[in-house]
Amino acid sequence: MTQALRRPIRIDIAVCTYRRAELDQTLLSLAALSIPAGALVRIVVADNDVTPSARDRVDAIRSAVPFEIAYVHCPASNISIARNACLDHANGDFVAFIDDDETASEDWLSELLVMADTTGADAILGPVQAIYANSAPTWMRNGDFHSTLPVWVAGEIRTGYTCNVLLRRSAPSLVGRRFNIALGRTGGEDTEFFSHMHQAGGRIAYAEDALVQEPVPSKRATVAWLAKRRFRMGQTHGRMLLEGRASGRHWRAIALAGTKAAYCFGAAALLAVSPVKRHRYGLRGIMHAGVVSGLFGVREIEQYGNLEKAPQ
């Protein structure tokens, strides 16, 4: 929905990248955005490769994009470094994050801005719709296991993600806040970022029509990839539950997560004839097992630690 804003406003769109050819399509989708009257847009591309491998790709596409593009080289292979570089180079009223393998819908930014204006929230999340190839398992496509949506707890959103979000840079909960470098190779840096922002009084809203799409490559369309991701997500949640907990509450949390894991694994076994439900419960059980791991202080697995060797 395109509509004029109450005053001229500046937005930086942050794109962290690492050897991805899909960056071209991401930038071209941003070039086609409908921009509210009076809004000024700038794109910040943060190249997380050891060498500035994306520089030529960005320079080649500048003429097709009607916005200024700031290229930043921020080595190496640690997504928190790239995200922080985007925050450090942002100078607008808002900064929006989108991944380098996603494409934005025409009204993506407008919908985020309208929701920010309507709610006054510090962060606005949008949905990420997974696009599956025909080769992906039928149960995976039917169950839509890769799309990203916010989670509500007691009527509010308490954490978020960076694959589709708008941040109000002047919000007290966000001023000076940065992503944890220690989590830049495991994942979970965005969960921690938004959880701490929420604990500091920040509000998170949701713009359901601010859609971006993300193709699911074959290497991610597997049970093994989903299981590893869910386990790491559980580890991050467990580690955060561990923060500031007394010993007694710590053991109660372990018992609760262990019980939930056992229940989910049992439900998965009972629902073996239904692939979608079986995998949904099984993956949820793996996530709760990850929570137990995190509560025991086990370091998160490095889900993205092999990026340097991955062909792009």
- What average pLDDT does the segment 28-47 reach? 96
User: Does residue 190 lie in a domain region?
Assistant: yes
Name the domain boundary from 193, 220, 247: 220
pLDDT at residue 304 in the model: 57
Name the domain boundary from 220, 242, 270: 220
Q: Is the pLDDT of residue 221 over 70?
A: yes
pLDDT at residue 243 in the model: 81
Q: Is the pLDDT of residue 109 over 90?
A: yes
| Among candidate residues 109, 102, 32, the one with its CA nearest the CA of residue 67 | 32
pLDDT at residue 295 in the model: 93
- What average pLDDT does the segment 149-171 reach? 97
Residue 109 domain boundaries: 9-220
- Rounded to an integer, what distance in angstroms lies between the CA atom of residue 294 and that of residue 286? 12
- What average pLDDT does the segment 187-213 reach? 97
Q: Do 48 and 77 touch, CB atoms closer than 8 A?
A: yes
Q: Is the pLDDT of residue 308 over 80?
A: no
In whole numbers, what is the pLDDT of the chain averaged over residues?
93
**DSSP single-letter state for residue 180:** -
pLDDT at residue 300 in the model: 83
Same domain, 33 and 176: yes
pLDDT at residue 4 in the model: 47
- Rounded to an integer, what distance in angstroms lies between the CA atom of residue 86 and that of residue 175? 14
pLDDT at residue 2 in the model: 46
pLDDT at residue 301 in the model: 79
Burial (CB count <10 Å: 0-12, 13-18, 19+), residue 277: middle
pLDDT at residue 28 in the model: 98
User: Does residue 74 lie in a domain region?
Assistant: yes
- What average pLDDT does the segment 163-187 reach? 95
pLDDT at residue 244 in the model: 64
Same domain, 110 and 152: yes
Name the domain boundary from 174, 198, 220: 220
- What average pLDDT does the segment 275-292 reach? 98
- What average pLDDT does the segment 45-74 reach? 97
- The distance of Cα 200 from the centroid of its chain, to the nearest Å, equals 20
Which H helix or E strand runs over 233? helix 223-242
Q: Is the pLDDT of residue 267 over 60?
A: yes
Same domain, 13 and 90: yes
Same domain, 65 and 100: yes
Q: Is the pLDDT of residue 164 over 90?
A: yes
Confidence bin at 309 (pLDDT 50/70/90): very low
User: Does residue 48 lie in a domain region?
Assistant: yes
User: Does residue 160 lie in a domain region?
Assistant: yes
Same domain, 125 and 262: no
Q: Is the pLDDT of residue 305 over 60?
A: no
- The distance of Cα 42 from the centroid of its chain, to the nearest Å, equals 20
DSSP 11-26: EEEEEEESS-TTHHHH
Q: Do 287 and 188 touch, CB atoms closer than 8 A?
A: no
- Rounded to an integer, what distance in angstroms lies between the CA atom of residue 28 and that of residue 106? 11
Which H helix or E strand runs over 119? helix 108-119
pLDDT at residue 1 in the model: 46
- pTM, two decimal places: 0.92
| Among candidate residues 161, 106, 158, the one with its CA nearest the CA of residue 128 | 161
Q: Is the pLDDT of residue 222 over 50?
A: yes
User: Does residue 145 lie in a domain region?
Assistant: yes
- What average pLDDT does the segment 224-248 reach? 87
Total domains, the chain: 2
Confidence bin at 105 (pLDDT 50/70/90): very high
